[in-house]
Amino acid sequence: MQEKYLPQDVERTIQQKWAVTGAFRARDDDARPRYYCLSMFPYPSGKLHMGHVRNYTIGDVLARYHAMRGFNVMQPMGWDAFGLPAENAAIANGVPPAAWTYANIDHMRAQLQALGFAIDWSRELATCKPDYYRWEQWLFTRLFEKGVIYKKMATVNWDPVDQTVLANEQVIDGRGWRSGALVEKRDIPMYFFRITRYADELLAGLDTLPGWPERVKTMQANWIGRSTGVRLAFKTPGSDELLWVFTTRADTLMGVTFVAVAAEHPLAARAAAENPALAAFIDECKQGSVAEADMATMEKKGMDTGLKVIHPISGEVIPVWVSNYVLMSYGEGAVMAVPAHDERDFGFARQYGLPIRQVIDARESSGVLRQAIADTRRNRALSAEEAEFAESFAEHASEFTDRAWQDWYASKEGVCINSGKYDGLGYEAAVDAIAADLAARGLGEKKTQFRLRDWGISRQRYWGCPIPIVHCATCGDVPVPAAQLPVVLPEDVVPDGSGNPLNKRADFVNCPCPRCGKPARRETDTMDTFVESSWYYARYACPDLADGMLDARADKWLPVDQYIGGIEHAILHLLYARFFHKLMRDEGLVASDEPFTNLLTQGMVVADTYYREEASGKKTWINPADVEVKDGVALLKADGRPVVVGGTEKMSKSKNNGVDPQALIDRYGADTARLFTMFAAPPEQSLEWSDAGVEGAHRFLKRLWKTVYEHLQGGRAPSPQPSPLKGEGANDAQSAPQAINDLRRQLHQTIQKVGDDIERRKQFNTAIAAVMELMNALAKLEGGDATTRSVRQEVLEAVVALLAPIVPHIAEALYAELKPGATLTWPVVDAAALVQDEIELMLQVNGKLRGAVRVAAAADKVAIEAAALASEAAQKYLEGRPPKKIVVVPGRLVNLVA
RNA sequence: GCCCGGGUGGCGGAAUCGGUAGACGCAGCGGAUUCAAAAUCCGCCGCCGCAAGGUGUGGGGGUUCGAGUCCCCCCCCGGGCACCA
């Protein structure tokens, strides 16, 4: 055995051994229980960043742990290879996206291999390869024929200078990222997946996923946004036409003071025909990006159309306004505005001097007021501000000050007022009564509405999976027949940033119509890259299948037992993948309803961002590795001049703040990199990157190596003894020294804890800490007698096994020295070693910690109370008076309440 | 703006079911070893205080014998918002 720990040597040797034995091959015909462990595949952006290392180490720890416990483990890897960054690189460097992508894949694969992940590389796939996307196209044509995919108009960001569609990310402050031109909204035809047809099932399915984090399920449920409300109509004077709106607050119908419609609403267009000012306003609304965040934060603007509608119950005449805060894509593209009880309506009404009518009495539900009332009841004096507020609320609520308003606007708790016959009704009763009255007049009904919209997948981009449709003047949109698939994307193209280069490729565009044979045009839009990532997990089961999308092997491996990926995918990717699984199920391709049984959402690895701004306003992002921070000033290492500090953000290509883990691996080895990332923070929490602490992880591994080396200098000791351990040369009645029994108890407690931390809690930092504590305790154990050496051997064997999922190279090398020829398996807890005779309880007096008492482990409440009362602390703090009450928490503490 | 998380020493974090706040590690300080340094080993290390003791988990209030943990209000930071992946 080498005296010194040389990670590079160890890792090279062990990795070669794994390669030779095919250690990570997942067998389709293995009868043992399977464990399909999947980490989200990376976008091949160039090199691994710390987020990848973290993600894949978590997956690897779980995969290796389960392998040690006897599971047939599959851990595959692939490449989410289509996407925008490849086109950006092409624009910047003139390299074809295909060549750039393949080069990146080769480099990143080598990095993953250097990290020693237990990946079955025989299942590797890349989504940009025709043998992968062919089946995506095949499924597309099937779904198109079924009507699950359809075509309609949709709004995109249009850069009028570059003459191209922009991604939301490419719109910065309402301008195109390259041209700087003001972005416009433009309507173009797109293909849509009818995900809304599955909305109910996607929502209900969340309840069948106990292995998913609650927060992810909540986010998805809110995203789907099922709401029951009322769809109701306002009549137009002098015509049969109806203006429909959807509302979840029909109980506030009597408080409607205006109706607001989206700029794209047909009614607005009609009014604008005779009103140039209105037409100009509608045009103005078309400026800016389509991103919802932008829509929601922009200044609310509106204009009176001059049109009037009639309130369906009161018959009142109500003005119709056009406003940019109403979205055409949600509900009916029109809302009934109740300024007293909706925040946006309220703001709008105040801005334009529209009337506000309170129709819900909800003062008790006010948070601020509730607190004030509670304080008053406790006779706490209110602050001047609170008192003033409470008073103004009580007396002048109807004056609609901004603050007072906030205290009733959104509540469903109050009862109707100022609402005629509905006065006094609560939320549900009022909605029911109003819906019934509307139904009787044919002006409304209860309706379930979803926030979720159909999934538009057309992208006006080159580097993506071609949409397999041919446009024929005679036959219309014709799906490409299965025999003619795949529609292959030419790989020799270099985009220049002005539109989709496929349009300029006659050899791609021109083709005969598959139906009538006449000359036709191929669709040049490609698919959203979320489509590829929605089914890759299934393809890993049969990546070599040449004549179908999936075969029977899919159900052998699916659903995925453990899925691991960034929290940033909590909604979109995970919802689309769940949706796709149901589409594949309904095509008979898989049997299960959900793709991922257990989900671990790792927190983001974040890092500081730095940039320099050019005169044009364009920002150049600078990698933190190239920046030096001195006395709070950030300087570029290259030129020593300052750069702007942009805040801490998710590591990303676009902000260029990824930290390259390669330096870490080169210097300390993969095991140190893995140990440190697992030790730095629990997986679900975000991790602010810093290099400090890596040394500590490396030191620990060196110490472990040295401890094993020194122990083995005296030869291997025999296997662990059965409990209870006997002392050396002692007779049967005499037990081993206390120190040895204590260490063995700690050892078996640690085995228990580490297994629980990995398997149930999925918290590896505490598992590592427990092993470190055990090693610290071992270091204090002295002596070279047979019993001591045997326990030392037992501890070291266990420590190496417990760490093996995290630091597999060093673990395997040390295990081979400790137990030649043996295979690493998970250590077994010796229950007898855990037994304790005496325990220490904390002693509190009036809830304050005042000391401790030692009692027998089996002591009952009476004995514990007696011991507590007899203690020094009790004498001192009770001053002779008997306690009023004694609280005993078994195994923990005793509290004397005086 | 809306939805979802988070906030604990100088730093990363621990405290799993309401029961010893700060495990483990980093940094720092002191010591041993060394010609010296690195490496290594030992010890100290929330804050105030000489001490006794007090105080302390973003801020304010509450429930409880007992609150980092539960409830109410507020502040700050991160993620997502449908064309970044």
> CB within 8 A of A159, min separation 6: which ones?
A165, A166, A176, A178, A179, A181, A183
The ipTM, to two decimals, is: 0.96
3-class secondary-structure state, position A522: strand
Q: SS3 of A401, please?
A: coil
Closest nucleotide C1' to the C-alpha of A450: B82
Tokens, residue A136? 């995506």
A632 pLDDT band (50/70/90 cuts)? low
A49 CB neighbours strand B below 7 A:
no
Q: For chain A, how far is it from start to end, CA to CA, in angstroms?
A: 64
Q: Quote the pLDDT of residue A687.
A: 85
Question: For strand B, which residues in window 357-386 of chain A come within 7 Å by CB?
Answer: 367-368, 370-371, 375, 378, 380
Question: How many angstroms separate the CA atoms of A277 and A303, rounded?
Answer: 9
Q: Is residue A629 helix, strand or coil?
A: strand
Is the distance from CB of A434 to CB of A440 less than 8 angstroms? Answer: no
- Secondary structure (H, E, C), A718-741: CCCCCCCCECCCCCCCCECCHHHH
pLDDT tens for A462-519 read 999 999 999 999 999 999 999 999 999 999 999 988 889 999 999 999 999 999 999 9
**How big is chain A by its Cα radius of gyration, in Å?**
34
What pLDDT was estimated at residue A624? 77
Helices A808-818/A786-803 angle, 10° precision: 150
Summary mean pLDDT of chain A: 89
DSSP classification of residue A83: S
Q: Of all nucleotides in the shown strands, which has a C1' nearest the CA of A41?
A: B85
**Measured in angstroms, what separates residue A603's CA from nucleotide B56's C1'?**
29
Pure H helices in A115-151:
130-146
**Residue A182 CB closer than 7 angstroms to strand B?**
no
The per-residue pLDDT for A373 is 42
SS3 of residue A440 by DSSP: helix
> CA(A685)–C1'(B7) in Å?
12
A167 touches strand B (CB under 7 A): yes
pLDDT tens digit sequence for A674-701: 999 999 999 999 887 777 789 999 999 9
Q: So what's the pLDDT on residue A59?
A: 98
Separation of alpha carbons A567 and A572, rounded Å: 11
Q: Which nucleotide is nearest to A775 (CA to C1')?
A: B24
Instruction: For strands A455-456 and A184-193, give the pairing.
Output: antiparallel
Chain B nucleotides covered by protein, CB below 7 Å:
1-6, 11-16, 19-21, 23-27, 39-42, 54, 60-63, 65-67, 72-74, 77-85
CA of A874 to C1' of B52 (A): 18
Which contiguous run of DSSP H or E holds residue A743? helix A738-756
Is the CB of A769 within 7 Å of strand B? Answer: yes
Burial class (CB in 10 A: 0-12, 13-18, 19+), A774: buried
A30 touches strand B (CB under 7 A): no
Among A22, A77, A73, which Cα is nearest to A55's? Answer: A77
Provide residues 854-893 of A with CB closer than 7 Å to any strand B atom.
885, 887, 889, 892-893
Contact A489/A532 with Cβ under 8 angstroms?
A: no
What is the nearest nucleotide to A693, using C1' and CA? B26
Using the C1' atom of nucleotide B41, identify the protein residue whose alpha carbon is closest. A779
- The arrangement of strands across the sheet holding A469-472 comes to A476-479, A469-472, A519-522, A510-512
Report the SS3 class of residue A682: coil
Tens digit of pLDDT for each residue in A91-101? 999 999 999 99
Lowest mean pLDDT among A2-16, A65-79, A212-226, A317-331: A317-331
pLDDT of A764-782, one tens digit each? 999 999 999 999 999 999 8
pLDDT per residue as tens digits for the range A402-442: 545 554 555 566 778 889 999 988 888 999 999 999 999 99
**Distance between the alpha carbon (CA) of A166 and the C1' atom of B24, Å:** 48
**CB neighbour list of residue A529: distance below 8 Å, 6 or more residues apart:** A80, A82, A83, A127, A464
Q: How confident is the model at residue A386 (pLDDT cuts 50, 70, 90)?
A: very low
CA of A748 to C1' of B65 (A): 35
The per-residue pLDDT for range A132-174, each reduced to its tens digit, is: 999 999 999 999 999 999 999 999 999 999 999 999 999 988 9
Summarize the confidence of residues A341-349 as an average pLDDT. Answer: 83
Tokens of A883: 């306690």
CA of A349 to C1' of B72 (A): 31
> Is the predicted pLDDT of residue A299 greater than 70, yes or no?
yes
Hey, what are A280's tokens?
């100009």
